[in-house]
Amino acid sequence: MKISLFSIIILFFYTSSAFTAEGGPCKDYGECDKFKYSLNDYESLQRGASTYINYCYGCHSLQYSRWGRIAKDLQIPEDVFFENLVFDKTIKPGDLMVGAMPDNSENWFGVAPPDLTLVSRYKGDDWIYSYLRAYYEDASKQYGVNNLVYPGTAMPNVLLSLQGNQRLVCKNVSLVADNGGEKRDEFGNTIFKEKCGFLEVDEGSGELTKEEFDKVIYDLTNFLVYVGEPSKAVRERIGWYVVFYFLIFTALASLLYREYHKDYH
């Protein structure tokens, strides 16, 4: 009985690890790129908010956040914020960011663009960071693009003008030998094999370089992490205070303990 339970557990771990190895969250992209947020970098968050409102808000609402809260948290003076980032002049600071999309938008895309307030919580920041950089040219699709992280996505590549035209290309890569070095034939020449599925942007087709574009997506993802949990930065800061408090308290308590202990002898 015990053995069969044990084997079920082993089987469970085996299958779950096999599952992640083959069809991970980033699908054809392979491993998602790692993303490390920096919620105290207000300039990054401000740039991310600006990109979001200019390029994404037209389709995706942020219905659990309020305009004024974002201005305040991101340390943007309210008048500057409203002047530059709020295009509908009837909006007030206390209003929710319910979006600019009419209700029948799923007729246009086949899928209604989802609200993105909590997307960093359910998809993960690594996923978003990879997704927005994994569009490629694919003439067979409705918008002429497809995505390695979300194959067949109904979302057009809205940042194409910034990134440029990204394509899937094949490259000759050297094979890795059993000892970890390059594989060679008997004459000592490196053996190459054609591998496909690499993303490459046509030189000069976008407004930004690869590094600049990655930075835009970094800031945008950083902003979505903030929006998913606006008090995350405060919560993490308080966490450190608590740890610090315990350290001090433990030190004081142990000094006190030593003091009292003297009386026993």
Interface residues toward ligand HEC, by CB under 6 A: 55-56, 58-60, 109, 111, 113-114, 116, 119, 123, 128, 131-132, 153-156, 158-159, 220
Q: Are 132 and 221 in contact (CB under 8 A)?
A: yes
Least Å from the CB of residue 121 to ligand HEC: 11
User: What CA–CA distance (Å, rounded) separates 65 from 215?
Assistant: 24
Least Å from the CB of residue 43 to ligand HEC: 19
Least Å from the CB of residue 160 to ligand HEC: 11
Least Å from the CB of residue 109 to ligand HEC: 4
Least Å from the CB of residue 197 to ligand HEC: 21
The type of residue at 181 is G
In the bound state with ligand HEC, the residue whose beta carbon lies nearer, of 154 and 199, is 154
Residue with tokens 């990054």: 44
Taking CA atoms, 46 is separated from 49, 119, 150, 226, in Å, by 5, 19, 27, 11
Residue number of the CB closest to ligand HEC reads: 56
In the bound state with ligand HEC, the residue whose beta carbon lies nearer, of 111 and 176, is 111
User: What CA–CA distance (Å, rounded) separates 45 from 64?
Assistant: 18
Taking CA atoms, 152 is separated from 59, 161, 163, in Å, by 18, 20, 20
In the bound state with ligand HEC, the residue whose beta carbon lies nearer, of 42 and 55, is 55
Least Å from the CB of residue 51 to ligand HEC: 6
Q: Which of 30, 73, 41 is nearest to 228 (CA)?
A: 73
User: What CA–CA distance (Å, rounded) separates 186 from 180?
Assistant: 17
User: What CA–CA distance (Å, rounded) separates 156 from 242?
Assistant: 46
In the bound state with ligand HEC, the residue whose beta carbon lies nearer, of 45 and 198, is 45
In the bound state with ligand HEC, the residue whose beta carbon lies nearer, of 119 and 233, is 119
In the bound state with ligand HEC, the residue whose beta carbon lies nearer, of 93 and 124, is 124
